[in-house]
Chain A
Amino acid sequence: MNKFIPVGQIKNFATKQTVRLSNETFVKKKEAANFLTDIADVFLFITRIIKETFSVNFEFREFMRQCFQIGYKSLPLISITGAIMGLVLTIQSRPVLVDFGAVTLLPGMVALSLIREMGPVITALICAGKIGSGMGAELGSMKVTEQIDAMEVSSINPIKYLLVTRVLAATIMIPILTLYADAFGIFGSWAGANIKGNVSFTLFFAQAFAPVEFIDLIPAVIKSFFFGAVIGLVGCYKGYNAGSGTQSVGKAANSAVVLGSLLVFIVDMIAVQITDIITS
């Protein structure tokens, strides 16, 4: 039996569907436009930082203060993390190497892992947490309490004073912290090797650096510079563009850590590919 639907009901249904689709299209269009605007904002932000870095009247005092904050104040955390990294890596790898009778390769393997990958990435992740969130929260609260506006109306360039110094300090200090973490990692590894064995530090040190070549160090240091720049840029961008209200300070700090950590992995993946192409 045929079922008849009134024309008015069909028209009504068609109108509702058209309105719904057009609303959804409008929302998607707005989202796409916002995404593109965000990308343009980030691009302009990075361009401005680079431009201000090479302009006159560099804020050297503030740069040194930031180096102290980022570098010196992170030393205890990096020391502990580095030592634990080396210790755990040694304890975990030792049983497998013992089974193959290759325990003498342990120091070299740990040193290579630390220098090439673990040291730079773990240090960068720790710094994304400590430094990135610090930058996001500090700059965010400066924005909320109108301190950045106060700088601008005093004709002081906040980009040059606050952002360039922080990004540069992060770019320079994170490679140094990475090397420091590598050194503590090797100490930790020696301690780990002595839990179940007995090896002198001199012998361990000699075995650790036997397979390590200068070419192993260069890509790691170069990628650490990029990690530092990424962490600094993300922390500053999120803090400087924080909205109004205390909630936005927390949001800025949080997103600085999340995005910073994610970008560290992405940069690492690209760096590994480039290193592989160059060395093979």
Chain B
Amino acid sequence: MSENETIELPIDKMNPGTDQPVLEIVELNKSFGNQEILKNISLTLYKGENLVVLGKSGSGKSVLIKCIVGLLKPDSGTINVLDKNVTSLNSKELNELRQKIGFLFQSGALYDSMTVKQNIEFPLRRIKKGLTEKQVQDKVHEVLENVDLVDSLNKMPSELSGGMRKRISLARTIAVDPLIMLYDEPTTGLDPVTSDEISSLILDVQKKYKTSSIIITHDMKCAQKTANRMMMIKDGLIYKEGKAEEFMNSTDSYIRSFSM
């Protein structure tokens, strides 16, 4: 076996992947004005795992993943994604790296002047430039089937419900076959049934597309269902890190307050 070849290990709920890190954050600091949002955050995401980052609103969870994709620039610290330091990349290199990262926005961020089909085609045609028209249409159909919304192909985003928007947004993200998925509050604002469906979809994406994911949430049910590992942020600092069971069985009142 050559040095460049990688071994694909099966994903297990408890012991998901390999010990091969795909994303490493070391001593990340970020502040807005005088307000420190993230203080010395360090974390590692391993290949094939779902890492859930918990924390209450305003604790800096979304800022963390926005720093990972270069939407925000950290004050200090390093972010290595797929062996590339995000903070030192030029715009061309950053764009190349972003093609391997999928980002599901809290609001879905669907382009409201485009239909569902155009929303999925838009990044697909630009990132996967070699695809034929048939391959593009097949891919659109495939991802819509994965999120069970083939019927919505020609609908506008304004005609979709909150849950449908999230699913279409997920379909758009997975259409370009990302290696790492970043979910920003995927179940916020959804009813319990739809939240559960989205959590199931996150697991399906992990299995089918072999992605490694960071899931930002404060929904303990979603965390419990999707997490291989969990981390809690409080006041910009890592409060606790461990396996999902440790969080579920924790006697810490702050952690338990998320399960209420």
Contact = CB atoms under 8 A, between A and B. Distances in A.
A145 interface: yes
B166 to A, nearest CB: 13
B245 to A, nearest CB: 32
Contacts of B111: 142, 147, 150
Interface residues of A, number: 12
A153 interface: yes
B101 interface: yes
Contacts of B66: 149
Contact of A155 (B71, B110, B127): B127
B109 A146 contact: yes
B123 A156 contact: yes
Interface in B54-104: 66, 69, 71, 95-96, 98-99, 101, 103
Given A146-B107, A146-B109, A153 B101 contact: yes
Given A145-B107, A149-B105, A154 B71 contact: no
B103 A156 contact: no
Contacts of A24: none
B126 A156 contact: yes
Contacts of B112: 145, 147
A147 B96 CA distance: 20
Contact of B95 (A142, A145, A155): A155
Interface in A127-159: 142, 145-147, 149-150, 152-157
Contacts of A145: 107, 109, 112
A147 B109 contact: yes
A30 to B, nearest CB: 13
Contact of A154 (B96, B98, B110): B98
Nearest to A59: B126
Interface residues of B, number: 21
Contacts of A152: 69, 71, 98
Interface in A145-182: 145-147, 149-150, 152-157
Contacts of A153: 69, 71, 98, 101, 103
A152 B109 CA distance: 12
B244 interface: no
B20 to A, nearest CB: 24
A154 B103 CA distance: 8
B122 A156 contact: yes
Nearest to A156: B126
Contacts of B126: 154-156
Nearest to B94: A155
Nearest to B96: A155
Contacts of B101: 153
Contact of B109 (A149, A155, A156, A157): A149
Contacts of A142: 111
A157 B94 CA distance: 12
Nearest to A69: B113
A37 B71 CA distance: 21
B176 interface: yes
Contact of A150 (B95, B103, B176): B103
Contacts of B122: 154, 156
A153 B176 CA distance: 12
A179 B95 CA distance: 42
B229 to A, nearest CB: 24
A95 to B, nearest CB: 50
B216 to A, nearest CB: 14
Contact of A146 (B99, B105, B176): B105
Interface string B103-146: 10111011110000000001100110000000000000000000
Contacts of A157: 95
A114 B98 CA distance: 52
Nearest to A148: B109
In the complex, the 5 A-B pairs of residues with the closest C-beta atoms, listed nearest first: A150-B109, A155-B95, A154-B123, A146-B109, A155-B98
Interface of B: 66, 69, 71, 95-96, 98-99, 101, 103, 105-107, 109-112, 122-123, 126-127, 176
26 contacts: A142-B111, A145-B107, A145-B109, A146-B109, A147-B109, A147-B110, A147-B111, A147-B112, A149-B71, A149-B105, A150-B105, A150-B111, A152-B69, A152-B98, A153-B69, A153-B71, A153-B103, A154-B122, A154-B123, A154-B127, A155-B95, A155-B96, A155-B123, A155-B126, A156-B126, A157-B95
Given A155-B99, A156-B122, 6 more contacts: A145-B112, A152-B71, A153-B98, A153-B101, A153-B103, A155-B127
Interface of A: 142, 145-147, 149-150, 152-157
